[in-house]
Amino acid sequence: MLFLLLNLLLNAIQSKNATHWADSIYNVLQEEKEKQVLISEPHTDTLLYIYQLHGEFCKSIDLLYISAEYYKIKSDYKKALSCAILANQIIEKDKCKSPNIKPKLYYLFAKIFLSLKDIKKAKKYIDLGIQSWQQSDLKKEILIRLYLLKGALSENSKEELYFYTLAYGLSIESKDVKMEEISLHSMGSFYAVVTGK
């Protein structure tokens, strides 16, 4: 009986209906970001298995990215890093051709390593993120965030202000009010430290 149930489950997962089910959850994760932490964890393993089975590798990377973000929010940096590494392995095997995945993933790596206080690796992935953004057609928000992070980790005050100013200029150029405010806050904090006020 157990063998029969397992066989039925396997057949269900391998069927086209399984991808439709997986896509329905995937679409919710993409459209309703605030619900990601609520529904990604219980379904991630099943969704990943289905997508890997059916060759949907870009969606697999997206799911691993969402999971890594989820674990980072929970301060479970070991699991967050594990998910990010798995996503990067799929990219390195050239199984997903989308140029938009790398900048986001590298930014996530940088944030995870920063949380782990590994500044050297955080800087490495910031630079990789900036480089890979040039080949993408992503909005400038991710590039602005990378510049802000690069400025925050700079050991040179002139360089730090340069990247904050660059981020601020890009936020104005792209009419991104949220990132403009974040950039201004970073610049304000910088001047407060420099002037001692």
Q: What's the pTM value of the predicted model, to 2 decimals?
A: 0.79
Q: Residue 29: pLDDT band by 50, 70, 90 thresholds?
A: low
C-alpha to C-alpha distance for 123 and 68, rounded to whole angstroms:
19
**Considering the chain, what percentage of its residues have pLDDT values greater than 70?**
77
* In a shared domain, residues 96 and 190: no
* In a shared domain, residues 67 and 161: no
Q: Where are the alpha helices (DSSP H) in 57-176?
A: 57-73, 77-92, 101-115, 119-133, 141-152, 157-173
* In a shared domain, residues 104 and 145: no
* In a shared domain, residues 133 and 184: no
* In a shared domain, residues 86 and 148: no
* In a shared domain, residues 87 and 160: no
pLDDT of amino acid 33: 54
CATH number at residue 119: 1.25.40
Structure confidence by residue, pLDDT tens digits, 60-77: 888 888 888 888 988 999
* In a shared domain, residues 127 and 150: no
